[in-house]
Amino acid sequence: MIDIKLIRENPDLVKENIRKKFQESKLALVDEVQALDKQHRELIQKAENLRAERTRLSKQIGALVAQGKKDEIEQIKQQSTQIGEEIVRLEGQQEEIRQQIHERMMLIPNIIDETVPVGKDDSENVELERFGEPVVPPFEIPYHIDIMEAFAGIDLDSARRVAGNGFYYLRGAIARLHSAVLSYARDFMIERGFEYFVPPFMIRGQVVDGVMSFAEMDAMMYKIEGEDLYLIGTSEHSMIGKFIDQIIPAQELPYCLTSYSPCFRKEKGAHGLEERGVYRIHQFEKQEMIVVCKPEESKQWYDKLWKNTVDFFRSLDIPVRTLECCSGDLADLKVKSCDVEAWSPRQKKYFEVGSCSNLGDAQARRLKIRVDDKGKKYFPHTLNNTVVATPRMLIAFIENNLQEDGRILIPKALQPYMGGQTEIAPKKA
């Protein structure tokens, strides 16, 4: 949510930002907010004038009491009562209009960074840089589910009977590999100075409204029936929500946090071969990184965060690239975002394994998170980035480390988390 002062002072900037995001249907919101805001301020002024008049009348009563003029005192008291009733009526109107403004402001997208490329959707995202040499081996790489089944490492049929499509059982060496990657990711971030958290896996609606747009919520979140609770789609939701309604001492910033959680997502519209298996699913696990910092530091932290993910994947011998998200691919709260994509030797292309986002002060403004800097209060900036999300990451891992005879090599960094194993072997041809 942007500062309403921006709409008062520079509505054309806000409209141009909406056009860059190809959301022309929202242009009318700016005019509506302007009109409502004007009306709201006029009501405030009327109420203030009436309060001043009531104060003046109160002073008159004091003077009339000394003079013993009871009739005039009674008349003034009646006037004062009427003024009080009018103030209450105006305050009710103010609250009604304030709510209308808030509802519209929640729909107006955040101002994107000037460096964000303009484009309609993810097809117009821009490649930034590649890390590691993508390799296509001289043998055919099977579909990732077929590889996992060769290790007796996955059971989708049982999962469908238990929970439906979009769920899985991992078994044996593949399940251990899944846990090893998460444990390594945890320690990787701790060693980089991030404090480790395991947060609540459900959050209240107030926090949901604070951390994402309604469109994102509708596409992602599962609601607990009969309760004001939602299953989290990522631990960022809980971790930013941790600071709701808080005033943070400036000397405590930045907060550098890394959190583990299961994640639950509706994944509306998933389709096609690559959407099956464990690529796009309703339940997965993730190690996340979150930063709460001073506004002037957020650009610096943005670069640090995506580099952490690149370094993590390269430590496991997985080639990756970074992709700048264009304006039309940015969620409404985001100022700037880039995806980290891993190389798939089977598909001979990259696919998304993480996303790094700078949300400016949008989440802080919605959740009323403020910084106290020697008496000066302001909204901090919030950022988040995926360290690793499994089991999707396993697709990149097993494809890039698969040998022609079916073995999967374990990179040195991961070996301590796999009991010292340097490789795992399939159970069936």
Domain boundaries, the chain: 4-105, 122-424
Which residue in 89, 87, 111 sits closest to 30, CA to CA? 111
Q: What distance in Å separates the CA atoms of residue 196 and residue 179, rounded to the nearest whole number?
A: 16
Q: Which residues of 99-190 form beta strands (DSSP E)?
A: 126-131, 154-155, 169-170
Q: What distance in Å separates the CA atoms of residue 360 and residue 382, rounded to the nearest whole number?
A: 6
CATH of domain 122-424: 3.30.930.10
Mean pLDDT of 212-239: 90
pLDDT of residue 178: 97
Tokens for 363? 């989440």
Mean pLDDT of 118-130: 96
Mean pLDDT of 111-118: 97
pLDDT of residue 416: 98
Burial class (CB in 10 A: 0-12, 13-18, 19+), 53: middle
More confident site: 229 or 58: 229
pLDDT, tens only, 74-97: 888 888 899 999 999 999 999 999
Residue 274 scores a pLDDT above 60: no
Residue 213 scores a pLDDT above 70: yes
- For 142: left if phi > 0, alpha if psi spans -120 to 50, otherwise beta; the answer is beta
- Compute, in degrees rounded to 10, the torsion defined by CA atoms 147, 149, 153, 157: 130
Q: Among 164-168, 344-348, 401-405, 415-419, which is the least confidently predicted range? A: 164-168
Q: What mean pLDDT, rounded, does the chain reach?
A: 93
Are 167 and 280 in contact by the 8 Å Cβ rule? The answer is: no
Q: In CATH, what is the architecture of 4-105? A: Orthogonal Bundle (1.10)
Preceding omega of 254 cis (within 30 degrees of 0): yes
Are 140 and 147 in contact by the 8 Å Cβ rule? The answer is: no
Are 333 and 364 in contact by the 8 Å Cβ rule? The answer is: no
pLDDT, tens only, 173-190: 999 999 999 999 999 999
pLDDT of residue 272: 47
pLDDT of residue 273: 39
- For 288: left if phi > 0, alpha if psi spans -120 to 50, otherwise beta; the answer is beta
Q: What distance in Å separates the CA atoms of residue 189 and residue 208, rounded to the nearest whole number?
A: 26
Are 182 and 390 in contact by the 8 Å Cβ rule? The answer is: yes
pLDDT of residue 267: 76
Q: What distance in Å separates the CA atoms of residue 393 and residue 391, rounded to the nearest whole number?
A: 5
First-residue to last-residue Cα distance in the chain: 55
Q: What distance in Å separates the CA atoms of residue 43 and residue 25, rounded to the nearest whole number?
A: 29
58-84 burial, b at 16+ Cβ within 10 Å, e below that, comes to: eeeeeebeeeeeeeebeebeeebeebe
Residue 270 scores a pLDDT above 70: no
Tokens for 8? 């008062």
> Which strand (E) or helix (H) includes residue 289?
strand 283-293
Tokens 């609606």 belong to residue = 205
Tokens for 336? 């700037």
pLDDT of residue 269: 54
More confident site: 271 or 164: 164
pLDDT of residue 154: 96
- Compute, in degrees rounded to 10, the torsion defined by CA atoms 365, 302, 299, 246: 30
- Compute, in degrees rounded to 10, the torsion defined by CA atoms 3, 9, 14, 15: 150
pLDDT, tens only, 310-336: 999 999 999 999 999 999 999 999 999
Residue 67 scores a pLDDT above 90: no
Tell me if the pTM is above 0.85. Answer: yes
Q: Among 47-61, 229-243, 393-407, which is the least confidently predicted range? A: 47-61
